[in-house]
A and B are shown apart, each in its own frame.
Chain A
Amino acid sequence: MNSETILPLALFIPLLSAFFIALNDGRPDWREGATLLGSLLLLGVVFSLLPAVATGARPTVDLLEFAPGLPLRLSVEPLGMTFACVAALLWPLNSLYSIGYMRGNQEQHQTRFYICFAIAIASTIGIAFAGNLLTLFIFYEALTLSTYPLVTHKGTEEAKQAGRLYLGILVGTSIGFLLLAIVWTWVVAGTLEFAPGGILAGKIDGPLVNVLLALYMFGIGKAALMPFHRWLPAAMVAPTPVSALLHAVAVVKAGVFSVLKVIVYVFGIDFLKDTGASSWLMWVAALTVLLASFVALTKDNLKARLAYSTVSQLGYVVLGAALATSMGVIGGSMQIVMHAFGKITLFFCAGAIYTAAHKTEVSQLDGLGRAMPFTFGAFLIGALSIIGLPPLGGSWSKWYLLVGAADAEQWALMAVLLLSSLLNVAYLLPVPARGFFAAAPAGGATQIPIREAPLACVVPLCLTALGCLWLFFQADSLYALLAPITVR
């Protein structure tokens, strides 16, 4: 089979899997079997596309025509390939973890949960392989809607409020700004293709470039650029596997991925550099990085702290894109991968702690690390990767971002990046430190027996932690894959 025939499969496998999940409503084992089988099939399909794309092929398939000259198009380029690989790698692990978590906590409506999850993955793949802005937009909205039932899964008043904020911000920004920006682009450029070097150069100039860029950047609410980040902490009310999906795999990554796509393939970094239109964006991103880190410091709830950490880490990607240098863009793209593995580990750990010990606050974790050594060990690895220490994957993305900032001669931004790393240390490391070193609350036994979460929870989080380590050694091949994206 050639790449063109495989490509649509990547979209249809998760959908088919959703269908089979629905058929097996009353049979949990079959249902979850369908999830796992679907996720493994998707993994195979996505990775079978990788060799061709790495050698320069750009498989493209038109699904149907929306308007004359405006098809729904799937097309694979290195950036999308990278994103799809991340999603395809993490879905099986997340599914395994979901099984452990959902059964361990006896959650309701599990069938609905798995169906929406599979649809969300299909939408993510659609975003990753979108061949033009319209296709991207369509799957972007599909992702918002398919994750809404996941965010409001608990059905409580709090979940309802969170869902309102989630939908309000994401749909509001995407319809209010993003759709407008896309139609505007279509009017001035006459195309919505993602083309190397961009499609806007020479079609629009002056301050309007800034306006259009702002419409895109704030329109992509999933990138959680301040001040449109509030939905992300609110969405923490969802079950933990969903938070992991939102933060690591699908939603926020779809956001920053779209930001990169728009900057690289719609504006083109040369065009942005020539017009200087993205300089304000650098500062908005830098501010997001710092402010969100400070907020994270103040949060005692573990998931809320991780949520603000995500807002901050997403700022890195936008920052890399806004630098409008090759290295910045590559650093931003790598950050998508590295942060995905690091953050999913942290969320898995938070969920495992909740499942095994029913603890949600950082201050309650004293001494728990000795009862849950694997979980806290994995948390430490994930945290170190996010901070950006070798030998973990996160060090590379930080490195390329710093190089990118140096290329752009933005010394202040380099300082922001370094300062932020210190802040990461300050809000992430207390968790394993308390777990391993702090004395357990009074009355506890001196010799704590090992009480880990179910195996289905612990295995995935160990695997993703190992993934952080593995990525450190894959930086070369990732760089080689991503290098062509900024070349015209």
Chain B
Amino acid sequence: MTEHLPVLQVVVPLIAAPLCALLRPGRAVWLLAMVTCALCLLIAALLLDRVLAQGVISYAMGGWPAPWGIEYRVDAANAYMLLIVAAIGAVVMAFARTVVEQRIRLPASKQPWFYATYLLCLTGLLGMIVTGDAFNVFVFLEISSLSSYVLISIGRDRRALTAAYQYLIMGTIGATFILIGIGFLYVMTGTLNMADLAARLPAVADTRTVRAAFAFLTIGISLKLALFPLHLWLPNAYAYAPSAVTAFLAATATKVAIYVLLRFFFTIFGAQFSFGTMRLDAILLPLALAGIFSASVVAIFQTNVKRMLAYSSVAQIGYMILGISLVSVTGLTAAISHLFNHALMKGTLFMALGCVSFRIGAVSLDRMAGVGRIMPWTMGAFVIGGLSLIGVPMTAGFVSKWYLILGALERGWWPVALLVLFTSLLAVVYIWRVVETAYFQPAPEGRATTGEAPLALLVPTWTLALANLYFGLDTSLNAGVARRAAEALLGVGP
């Protein structure tokens, strides 16, 4: 049984999704989805445990050995990613039931479809991570993308529809570019297996086709991960999607795209080709810095807090790309560690906002005045998530910030280190605007005096909030394993 873990990771949610759609509306659907997510988390934890103990696991789909069959290949990097996605998937699913029942634009009879779509999205994300086959990445990318367009479009605000449509257009362009890139690689090497590609590419590396493939893949993946200036779909999509969906996508979707970037550039093309020959770092570094700076500044001027956090996500993606463009073990550790830490902090923040919108029906800054007094637990979680976003010590965010600055100073890039520190102060500004409004301003006229959010929302929110604190102190997973993943990607590790 345990040798089938890699495939079960994908098959379990894939089979559960149609089952959800077949069930009658009610609690049973959610329970099935919840159990599925929990199983996924369990499988991911077991996989990580095995990979750390035994090294790389290779699984041949249907018994066809690679490079002919599809190979699922799990090393430290993707076992770690699987854990992030599965964990967030499970926590947000626990949060989602109350939101789905009361806060989205779906009649009760259609609610099972939400869970089905959610599980499909999870399937796609997990599949992109676990697979060792380049074309398979594309297939799962489309599964997750199509389902995420649907998930976004069911937000209460009608603008969710245009946001989803915008994302659909941009996402499809991105996916197409990725497909073209993979196609070119197939033309040149005759293989789609990642390990096989890595072995065959150096022989044909100096051709225009491979370079074009590289360019298509770079742009396609950058669109999916919302690298500045290709991020324009993100703020609207995050702002108008239902809060559970935003929490789930913000914490996972862009992260998986970054993982794909790492896989293609480090494993398939190799760091030497990507950064030595193609000088990708010279492109990524300025874009990352521009993204960090401009998105942080834009976030300060937002009045819708969800939108503000969406822009903050663009900035945080910049930090990850910055870590990658350092092309060192420390830099990659920072990037990979931040994938995890950012999932925790943004998950917390968006879920806390979900609690707020559940009670007062809005998350604009003026409507949130005085919320800290009537919803102390919700805003407590928000403050913890915010501190983590700022990178205050004893929160997860500090861990990634530490490695990022360390990486920059190791390379002697002083201005970069200074900019990272300066932009964390910008994060102080935009987070503290919310904190001050929530705690110091009197409640606006005419807002119903409602109480704290229900426990069904608070428990998942606080689970992630406490995880922020826990992983700020015990860094064996989010820095220790991240380092092993970085070493695996750079090919310098044991």
Chain A residues contacting B406 (CB-CB under 8 Å) are: 183, 186-187
- Within residues 41 to 67 of chain A, which ones have a CB less than 8 A from any CB in chain B? 64-67
Contact present for A172 and B425 (CB under 8 Å): yes
A137-B405 CB under 8 A given contacts A64-B473, A171-B425: no
Q: Tally of A-B residue pairs with Cβ under 8 A?
A: 67
Binds B, one of A173-181, A230-238, A348-356, A401-409: A173-181
Whole-angstrom CA separation of A314 from B392 in the bound complex: 26
> In this complex, what residue of A is CB-closest to B394?
A138
Instruction: Please tell me the size bucket of the interface on B.
Output: 20 to 34
Whole-angstrom CA separation of A311 from B369 in the bound complex: 35
Whole-angstrom CA separation of A257 from B418 in the bound complex: 26
- Within residues 240 to 299 of chain B, which ones have a CB less than 8 A from any CB in chain A? none
Contact present for B473 and A152 (CB under 8 Å): no
| Residue B212, interface by CB 8 Å | no
Contact present for B409 and A184 (CB under 8 Å): yes
> A160-173 CB contact bits vs B (8 Å, 1 = yes)?
10011001100110
Chain A residues contacting B421 (CB-CB under 8 Å) are: 175-176, 179-180
Whole-angstrom CA separation of A171 from B394 in the bound complex: 14
Contact present for B428 and A171 (CB under 8 Å): yes
8 Å CB contact of B440 from A66, A72, A152, A184: A152
> In this complex, what residue of A is CB-closest to B395?
A141
Contact present for B432 and A164 (CB under 8 Å): yes
Whole-angstrom CA separation of A64 from B406 in the bound complex: 20
Whole-angstrom CA separation of A168 from B387 in the bound complex: 14
Whole-angstrom CA separation of A419 from B409 in the bound complex: 44
| Residue A145, interface by CB 8 Å | yes
8 Å CB contact of A187 from B390, B394, B410: B410
Query: Nearest chain B CB to A16's CB is how many angstroms away?
Result: 17
Whole-angstrom CA separation of A138 from B422 in the bound complex: 19
Interface of A is mostly: helix
Chain B residues contacting A142 (CB-CB under 8 Å) are: 393-394
> B417-445 CB contact bits vs A (8 Å, 1 = yes)?
11001101100100010001001100000
- Within residues 381 to 410 of chain B, which ones have a CB less than 8 A from any CB in chain A? 387, 390-394, 399, 401-402, 405-406, 409-410
Contact present for A141 and B425 (CB under 8 Å): no
> In this complex, what residue of A is CB-closest to B476?
A65
8 Å CB contact of A167 from B405, B410, B432: B432
Chain B residues contacting A67 (CB-CB under 8 Å) are: 402, 475, 479
Query: Nearest chain B CB to A163's CB is how many angstroms away?
Result: 8
| Residue B206, interface by CB 8 Å | no
| Residue B157, interface by CB 8 Å | no
Contact present for B393 and A183 (CB under 8 Å): no
| Residue B474, interface by CB 8 Å | yes
Chain A residues contacting B476 (CB-CB under 8 Å) are: 65
Chain A residues contacting B474 (CB-CB under 8 Å) are: 64
> In this complex, what residue of A is CB-closest to B387?
A145
> B367-391 CB contact bits vs A (8 Å, 1 = yes)?
0000000000000000000010011
Query: Nearest chain A CB to B435's CB is how many angstroms away?
Result: 9
Contact present for B409 and A187 (CB under 8 Å): yes
Query: Nearest chain B CB to A15's CB is how many angstroms away?
Result: 13
Query: Nearest chain B CB to A362's CB is how many angstroms away?
Result: 30
A183-B409 CB under 8 A given contacts A137-B393, A160-B436: yes
Query: Nearest chain B CB to A204's CB is how many angstroms away?
Result: 13
Chain B residues contacting A187 (CB-CB under 8 Å) are: 406, 409-410
Contact present for B392 and A141 (CB under 8 Å): yes
Whole-angstrom CA separation of A157 from B442 in the bound complex: 11
Whole-angstrom CA separation of A142 from B392 in the bound complex: 8
Contact present for B440 and A176 (CB under 8 Å): no
Query: Nearest chain B CB to A180's CB is how many angstroms away?
Result: 6
6 pairs from A and B in contact (CB 8 Å cutoff): A168-B428, A171-B392, A171-B428, A175-B428, A180-B405, A187-B406
| 5 more A-B residue pairs beyond the given contacts A66-B399, A66-B479, A160-B440, with a C-beta to C-beta distance below 8 A | A141-B394, A171-B390, A171-B425, A175-B428, A180-B417
Give residues in B with beta carbon < 8 Å to A: 387, 390-394, 399, 401-402, 405-406, 409-410, 417-418, 421-422, 424-425, 428, 432, 436, 439-440, 473-476, 479
